[in-house]
Amino acid sequence: MLAIFSRRVLPGFTLSLGTSLLFVCLILLLPLSALVMQLSQMSWAQYWDVVTTPQVVTAYKVTLLAAFVASIFNGVFGLLMAWILTRYRFPGRTLLDALMDLPFALPTAVAGLTLASLFSVNGFLRAVSRAV
């Protein structure tokens, strides 16, 4: 009879996975449930009126246009950088490769908060522009 050994590669994996899934579910499900509760109090006509207001339609257009432009730019730039990093050896190549991986390591929320603090009324860039 074969003995089955359970060798854990990552000790504590189940606990860390469970904790991570709990926080992700809380972060996603709490706002989503609040949205569903707000929507359940509206009729379809009220919902359609809210969704089709000029400000919301403009927000849709800006979001889709920004996503389209970012996709095209990132596709072209990413293909070019992948080609250069794969084909050529040059000084600073590892630094450039590390900079290309930075968006994967930096959470989007941190980048958003940083940009918001830079461009806010009391932000760093506002103080610099006043000094100039």
**pLDDT, tens only, 75-112:** 999 999 999 999 999 999 999 999 888 888 878 888 88
Q: Is the pLDDT of residue 7 over 70?
A: no
> pLDDT-derived band of residue 54, with 50, 70 and 90 as boundaries?
very high
Task: Report H helices in 1-132.
Answer: 13-40, 44-51, 54-87, 93-105, 108-119, 124-131
Out of 15-19, 31-35, 92-96, 118-122, which region has the weakest mean confidence (pLDDT)? 118-122
Pair 85, 100: CB distance under 8 Å:
yes
Residue 87 pLDDT: 94
pTM comes to 0.56
Residue 46, pLDDT > 90, answer yes
The whole-chain average pLDDT of the chain stands at 86
Pick the range with the lowest mean pLDDT from 16-20, 49-53, 58-62, 66-70: 16-20
Cα-based angle 123, 128, 131 (whole degrees, multiple of 5): 130
Give the integer Cα–Cα distance in Å for 61 and 63.
Answer: 5
Q: Tokens representing 52?
A: 């089709």
pLDDT above 80 (res 17): yes
